[in-house]
Amino acid sequence: MKAILPALIILLLFITCNKDYHPRTIDDNQPGGEDTSGVPTDTVSDIPFDTASSIPLNDLGKNLYMGYVGGLYPNGLNEPSGQYAQDLLEASKAIIPRDENGNPSGDGYIVFISLGASTGGKNMTALIDKTKDNPAVNPKLKLMNGNQPAGRAPLFIIADSTSDYWTHVLSIIKLHNSTPKQVQVAYLETDDSVTARKFPERPDLVKLKIETCMRTMKAVFPNLKVLYVLGRPRTFNIGPAWNTEPSPYYFGWACKWAIEDQINGKDSLSYTGEKPLAPMITWGFYQWADSLPRKTDGFYWRRTLSSDGLHANDEGQDSLSSRFQRFLFSDPYASLWYARH
């Protein structure tokens, strides 16, 4: 036993010193991005989900969750920084009214569309109501709800530009007397259809699906500059697997890691040059919280704010959309195109 103890101490020290390691070995060229053969088994945890140890990303900051640094952005930060922040500023400044052909025009519009499933659709509908006739909002802004309910818009369907989902989205845009070339801002919130439950396997797989969706969005909307992700609110005893915790919590990690991939210069997520492959991806108002108010902003999410464990009730939806709008008004980047100047 005495001979074993030194070896155990060395092993523990090794693990502690390598806790910010993040696997990047999943092959996103595989169909659906679901090749898990490259995920090191020693980084996949079987620890059951526990809300007590699952701290919201913005509260987690530089601290660790299962060996991975928190924060909404790299290095435990909750705000954009460095070249990424400068690029986001330039992209936000470039969001200006455009005509139906996508050319800058004082008579044109900025289209901001939501994409995904029912929870994001409810959020966008509430945001549209708060935006309508609001004198503080940019009068050249058109908000559109492109979401669909009942599992008709998971990530793998959004990733396919030939799917019926995109027929629906394009019809919504046409109904608003607009064109895809006027779409410059999007908001993505949906389920992911991934059945894997382990960490970090699950968020890595979801991240790849988000990144595929980004490229599809850019192909459909050539003038799309910025994609906002809000993660997902906490759910309560609701199936299937992708709507049951820890999946919504891990969805936030997937968003964080997709942003990290773009910041780190992943070629397939290039947003600069003559032919950018993707929009910039950034955080809107991060939605995952537990019953206790978050330290960073006081936001909380309880079962009483949900109608069925998955969807927000009227009180919950007002809370989510109000905080999203508050973000759009106060954020130094989003306010450039959302607010009246």
DSSP-derived secondary structure for 140-200: TEEEEE----TTS--HHHHT-TTSHHHHHHHHHHHHTT--GGGEEEEEEE--------SBT
d(CA 287, CA 311): 13
294 SS3 class:
coil
- pLDDT at residue 97 in the model: 98
For residue 135, pLDDT over 60 is answered with yes
Residue pLDDT, tens place only, 305-320? 999 999 999 999 999 9
- The average pLDDT across 53-77 equals 95
What tens digit of pLDDT does each residue of 138-161 get? 999 999 999 998 789 999 999 999
Q: What is the dihedral of CA 107, 108, 112, 117, to 10 degrees?
A: 120
Q: How far apart are CA 260 and CA 253, in angstroms?
A: 10
pLDDT at 19 over 60: no
Per-residue tokens: 303: 């079962």
**Whole-Å CA distances, 60 to 68, 164, 272, 296:** 10, 39, 31, 10
Residue 34 has pLDDT above 60, yes or no: no
Rounded mean pLDDT, 157-174:
97
Dump pLDDT digits (tens) for 254-304.
999 999 999 999 999 999 999 999 999 999 999 999 999 999 999 999 999
Q: What is the mean pLDDT of residues 112-132?
A: 97
Range with the lowest mean pLDDT among 3-12, 27-36, 221-230?
Answer: 27-36
Segment 103-122 shows an average pLDDT of 97
Which runs of consecutive H residues, i.e. helices, occur in 43-163? 57-60, 82-93, 118-131, 155-158
Q: How confident is the model at residue 14 (pLDDT cuts 50, 70, 90)?
A: very low
Question: What whole-number distance in Å separates Cα of residue 29 and Cα of residue 38?
Answer: 13
| Helices and strands of the chain, counted as H and E runs | 10, 7
**How much is the pTM?**
0.87
Confidence of residue 33 (pLDDT cuts 50, 70, 90): very low
pLDDT for res 128: 98
Least confident of 42-56, 180-194, 234-248: 42-56
In which band, very low, low, confident or very high, does the pLDDT at 239 lie, cut at 50, 70 and 90?
confident
Average pLDDT over residues 21-36: 35
DSSP 8-state assignment for residue 77: B
Pull the structure tokens for residue 71. Answer: 């924060």
Residues near 198 by beta carbon (within 8 Å), at least 6 away in sequence: 44, 45, 46
pLDDT band at 49 (very low <50, low <70, confident <90, very high): low
Give me the helix-helix angle, 164-175 and 201-220, nearest 10°.
50
- pLDDT at site 195: 87
Quick one: pLDDT at residue 12? 38
In order of start, what are the domains of the chain with their CATH numbers? 94-338 (3.40.50.1110)
3-state secondary structure of 64: strand
Per-residue pLDDT, 253: 98
Q: Is residue 229 packed enough to be buried (19+ CB in 10 Å), middle (13-18) or exposed (0-12)?
A: buried
Mean pLDDT of 236-262: 93
CB 87 within 8 A of CB 280: yes
Mean pLDDT of the chain: 88
When pLDDT is averaged across residues 101-130 and rounded to a whole number, the result is 98
